[in-house]
Amino acid sequence: MENQNINEIYQSAMDEIGESSTSEKLQELKIKFLAKKSVLMSLLSTLGSLPPEERKEMGQKLNEVKAKIASAIEEKENQLRKEELEKKLKSETIDISLPSKRVELGGQNPFYVVKDEITDIFLNMGFEVADGPEVETDLYNFELLNIPKDHPARDMQDTFYISDSVLLRTHTSPVQAHTMQAAEGKPIRIICPGKTYRRDDDDATHSHQFAQIEGLVIDKDINIGHLKATLELFAKKMFGEKREIRLRPSYFPFTEPSVEVDITCANCNGKGCSMCKGTGYIEILGGGMVHPNVLKMNGYDPDVYSGFAFGIGIERVAILRYGIDDIRKFYQNDIRFLRQYRKKA
Ligand code: PHE
């Protein structure tokens, strides 16, 4: 009698599984046929009351049926899942023969390309990158660099004043003072790329905002030979192995001696042409040995330590490197200009 009952349950389970077309329905069937309170399971709990010979047979049969129903449900679940996926894929097919929208690849402004190149050259020589504020105090921009209030050198570095003592930095040199003070007497080897400002009437060669890379090395026994060798290596890496440099005496209040560094003109190879105004050389940067007053004011004993510093105009290097004729082009974002420097993929 039980057997009969079990077969009926099995049959109706199979029918219902076969007919069900959603996973919710299958979920219901699981509860109906396999949960603790289902008919099948309640039969299992009555096994104990059967005579031992029948108990074993009946138990096996019940478990067999239970396993069959469970696997039938699972199979159906898989089938439904597959069908659903196929339906979804079909509804989401895209027409790959349609022409796509063109994605325009952007490019780096040549200013940044050159800034990164200069930075890399010095990183490879063992320099680290330092940072400093663009809004500076008079103290750091001038005083701590040996440019007191009444110094005539201030005339060439008029800038935008926020107040009498706060201004937009006119060069990256204040980073020298910040770095020295933070290093507290330890050796230094840094560069600092950054924006600088001056009150200027903008034209092809002047811009009220421009950028420099400052360099500063301080240690025992640093001499001008180190400055020359460092800048020569930089010039050759940046402009080509054939370029020679020359140092000309110059003046900056924060270096002594001070130099202006020229490279041989790439256009005429030093012979003299219109690009170098007949001199064979083109000026690329300023530098010198750190002035003893600057060392002293920023915590270094000039009798023990010495150092060199330099300041490179980034736009100037980019102009020479790419033959650009107007500094304003770096800032105007004219796509016709920028496009010429786009790296080919
Ligand atoms: N700060 C100087 C300038 O802007 C450049 C410079 C830097 C010169 C470091 C000497 C040493 O003109």
Whether 75 and 160 map to the same domain: the answer is: no
The residue whose CB lies within 8 Å of the most ligand 1 atoms, and thus the one to mutate among 252, 255, 285, 293, is 252
217 in a structural domain: yes
- Do 68 and 187 share a domain, yes or no? no
On whether both 77 and 158 belong to a single domain, the answer is no
pLDDT digits (tens, 9 = 90+) for 202-233: 998 899 999 999 999 999 999 999 999 999 99
Quick check: is 98 in a domain?
no
Residues 70 and 194 both lie in one domain: no
Do 16 and 127 reside in the same domain of the chain?
A: no
**Does 262 reside within a domain?**
yes
Q: Does one domain contain both 173 and 321?
A: yes
Q: Per-residue pLDDT for 152 more than 90?
A: yes
Q: How far is the CA of 29 from the centre of ligand 1 (A)?
A: 85
Specify whether 157 is located in the same domain as 215: yes
For residue 344, tell me if it sits in a domain. no
Number of Cβ atoms within 10 Å of the Cβ of 162:
12
pLDDT at 8 over 90: no
Is 9 a domain residue? Answer: yes
pLDDT for res 174: 98
Q: Give the mutation target among 159, 197, 254 for probing the ligand 1 site: most ligand atoms within 8 A of CB.
A: 254
Cα of 294 vs centre of ligand 1, distance in Å, is 13
Q: Note whether 232 and 152 are same-domain residues.
A: yes
Q: Is 321 in a helix, a strand, or coil?
A: helix
Residue 105 lies in a domain: no
Determine the length of the chain: 345
d(CA 237, CA 201): 33
Residue at a domain's end among 36, 63, 91: 91
Q: In angstroms, what is the span from residue 331 Cα to ligand 1's centroid?
A: 23
Same domain, 264 and 183: yes
Q: Which domain holds residue 24?
A: 3-91
Residues in Cβ contact with 130 at an 8 Å cutoff, skipping those fewer than 6 apart? 175, 178, 179, 190, 191, 192
Residue 197, SS3 per DSSP:
strand
- The phi and psi torsions of 105 (rounded to 5 degrees) equal -80, 130
pLDDT at 340: 86
User: What is the distance between the alpha carbons of residues 327 and 205, in angstroms, rounded to a whole number?
Assistant: 6
**Do the beta carbons of residue 164 and residue 182 sit within 8 Å?**
no
Please report whether residue 305 resides in a domain. yes
The predicted pLDDT at position 95 comes to 83
Cβ atoms 23, 80 nearer than 8 A: yes
- pLDDT classification of 2: cutoffs 50, 70, 90: low
Q: How far is CA 95 from CA 37, 84, 85, 87, 102, in A?
A: 52, 21, 19, 17, 17
Please state the domain count of the chain.
Answer: 2
Residue 159 resides in a domain: yes
Measured from the CA of 286, which atom of ligand 1 is nearest?
A: 8
pLDDT, tens digit (0-9, with 9 covering 90-100), for 278-317:
999 999 999 999 999 999 999 999 999 999 999 999 999 9
Structure tokens at 93: 């097919």
Give Cα 154 to chain centroid, integer Å: 37
CA-based R_g, the chain, Å:
41
- Single residue among 33, 57, 91 that ends a domain in this structure: 91
Mean pLDDT of the chain: 92
| Closest residue to atom 7 of ligand 1, CA basis | 311
Sign of CA dihedral 110, 204, 235, 311: negative
Residue 146 in tokens: 């040996």
Q: Are residues 141 and 268 in the same domain?
A: yes
What pLDDT sits at residue 39?
80
Of 91, 122, 138, which marks where a domain is finished? 91
Closest CA to 147 of 227, 255, 248, 249: 255
The verdict on 121 and 85 lying in the same domain is: no
Q: Per-residue pLDDT for 1 more than 50?
A: no
Q: Which helix (H) or strand (E) holds 230?
A: helix 224-239
Q: What is the mean pLDDT of residues 174-198?
A: 97
* Whether 40 contacts 33, CB under 8 Å: yes
Same domain, 287 and 321: yes
User: CA–CA separation, 202 vs 36, rounded Å?
Assistant: 87
Model confidence at 268, in pLDDT bands (50, 70, 90)? Answer: confident
Q: What is the CATH number of the domain that holds 168?
A: 3.30.930.10
